[in-house]
Structure 1
Amino acid sequence: MSPRHRPWEEAADFQIGLRPIAVADWLEGGEADPAARKDPLYEHARDLVWAERPGSEAGQAEALAMVEGALGPAPAAPGLPALYAAARRTPDDLCLMEKADGQWRLTALSLSAGGFFTASEAIGKSLGELHGPVTGFADRFLIRVQRVFEGLRPDLVLERRNWTVLNSDRLHTPSSAPIRARIPGIDPRDAGRILHLRVERQTLRRLPATGGALFTIRVWLAPLADLAGEPERLAAFARAWRAATPDLRAYKRFDLYDDLVEAFLRDPQPA
């Protein structure tokens, strides 16, 4: 699942960064059998990876129809919620946003690659509440994001990308505590192997019949050491890491990894 995208080459600050893409490019694929990864989590850790609110069924069904329109129809096990039936077809996590009480709220989600949050924590939250941890989001971006949701056309697919560094090679990371507790034990000589680039490619589409919006999150992972053999990519990463704004550094907790990343940059050994 090595990243296809390099968002660290584009900005050193948190950006909305939404751009239109072709409908044919909506879902990237790249995982042979997403259900093999997602189904055990849905079965054994459901509160972490799945949640829905009453009344979201029509929006879920439309999201499933949209995914089937892109990937083709496929039989699903009976009794599955429609959004989860859609999510097990694609590597992406799927989030259904619908407007209620004047706010865009998360009404159903399949979250098998969530980064430091869970489905049960996120369900029902508004756009502002979901982005609360992003420093300055309410002042700088909330109104703009709300306008994007309001003006989203049925024939438009929007895409954005972001990135971070973690000492984990797992897609499903619901809690930061066990991951960050391991940081002091990392040998700086192993930083390139243990630290991973975690890239999220996100898309947004209108559900024309029900009026909601489907937000997708595709996570790509690769060891930092993968950059060692490509000097231009390595230099771009080093510039982005060192130029990151205080707000971005605080939100991503880059301070926890500074010494390890700099150790890798001084001696970038391949994996």
Structure 2
Amino acid sequence: MSLRHRPWEQAADFTIGLRPVPAAAWLEGGEADPAARKDALFETSRDLVWAETEGSRPGQREVLGLVEAALGPSPPAPGLPPLYAAARRVPDDLCLMERRGGAWRLTALSLSAGSFFTAAEVVGRSLKELHRPVTGFSERFLTRVNRIFEGLRPELVLERRNWTLTNSAELHVPDPAPIRARIGAIDPSGAARALQLRVERQTLRRLPETGGAVFGIRVWLAPLAELAQDREALAAFARAWRAAPPAFRAYKRLDLYDPLVAAVFAQAGLVDAG
């Protein structure tokens, strides 16, 4: 899978960074058969990748309708929750957000490419609770994010992108411990191939009938070696890596990879790149 986006070239920090895109650009595609990947997890690890709350089915059905409007109708999927029937047609993870008890809450989700959390852990949480691990989110961003959800118009699709680095080439990584336990075994001379850039393209869209919103997460993965083939591209990443603020680095645990990334930069002659 080749990277389609390079968000570190725009910002090294966590930012809201939402921008409008045409409704026709809501879904990016790029995966031949997402159902094959997602169905296997749905069958064997359902609590990790699927969760719903009571009363969320109308919103789920509306998401399915939007997907079918974008991709065309599909045969009925008896027995499948509507949101999962929608999610298995697209590479994106799909999350249903609805206003419950005075707060926007995650009421259903298909999470087949989640990074270090599971569906069961997050279902029912509010925006504040979902972003608690993000250092400074409540103080810096929560009020603005709530306003975005409240003011989202049905015809508007919003997009943002973020990035991290990991040493797993798997899309589905619910637990960081096994992955991080392998970091010490990586040979610095092969770090560019072992380390993976993980880029998320996130989208937000209002559900006009039920009043909720669908939050989509499309994950792209590629080895750092892909950037290393282009010295200018790697230099841009080096600048972002070195400029990332302490809170961002702590949240993403970039410190775990510093020696390996430094080796990649040194091999490319970017020791002094700023």
Instruction: Judge same fold: TM > 0.5, yes or no.
Output: yes
CA distance in structure 2 between the aligned counterparts of 1:189 and 1:75, rounded to whole angstroms: 50
- Deviation for aligned residue 1:231: 1.6
Match of 1:215 in 2: 215
Corresponding letter in the other structure for 1:35: A
User: Deviations 1:189-245 (Å, cap 9, x if unpaired)?
Assistant: 110010000000000000000000000000000000001121221110000000000
- Kept after mapping to 1: 8 A contact 2:23/2:157: yes
1:128 matched to 2:128 = yes
1:67 matched to 2:56 = no
- Kept after mapping to 1: 8 A contact 2:231/2:268: no
CA distance in structure 2 between the aligned counterparts of 1:76 and 1:189, rounded to whole angstroms: 51
Aligned pair in 2 of structure 1 residues 225, 268: CA closer, same or farther (>3 Å)?
farther
Task: Tell me which stretches of 4 or more aligned residues in structure 1 moved more than 2 Å.
Answer: none
CA distance in structure 2 between the aligned counterparts of 1:171 and 1:193, rounded to whole angstroms: 16
Normalised to the residue count of structure 2, the TM-score between the two structures is 0.97
Match of 1:167 in 2: 167
Normalised to the residue count of structure 1, the TM-score between the two structures is 0.98
Q: Please, which runs of 5 or more residues in structure 2 have no aligned partner?
A: 270-274
1:55 matched to 2:55 = yes
- Kept after mapping to 2: 8 A contact 1:225/1:268: no
Aligned-residue RMSD, C-alpha: 0.9
User: Deviations 1:167-210 (Å, cap 9, x if unpaired)?
Assistant: 00000000100000111111111100100000000000000000
1:116 matched to 2:116 = yes
1:85 matched to 2:85 = yes
Instruction: Figure out how many residues of one structure are paired with residues of the other and give that number.
Output: 269
1:256 matched to 2:235 = no
Match of 1:7 in 2: 7
- Kept after mapping to 2: 8 A contact 1:47/1:119: yes
Match of 2:94 in 1: 94
Secondary structure (helix, strand or coil) at the match of 1:257 reads: helix
Match of 2:156 in 1: 156
Corresponding letter in the other structure for 1:52: E
- Kept after mapping to 1: 8 A contact 2:128/2:138: yes
CA distance in structure 2 between the aligned counterparts of 1:109 and 1:156, rounded to whole angstroms: 21
CA distance in structure 1 between the aligned counterparts of 2:244 and 2:173, rounded to whole angstroms: 23
- Deviation for aligned residue 1:12: 1.5
- Deviation for aligned residue 1:46: 0.1
1:141 matched to 2:144 = no
- Kept after mapping to 2: 8 A contact 1:62/1:209: yes
Match of 2:272 in 1: none
- Kept after mapping to 2: 8 A contact 1:49/1:118: yes
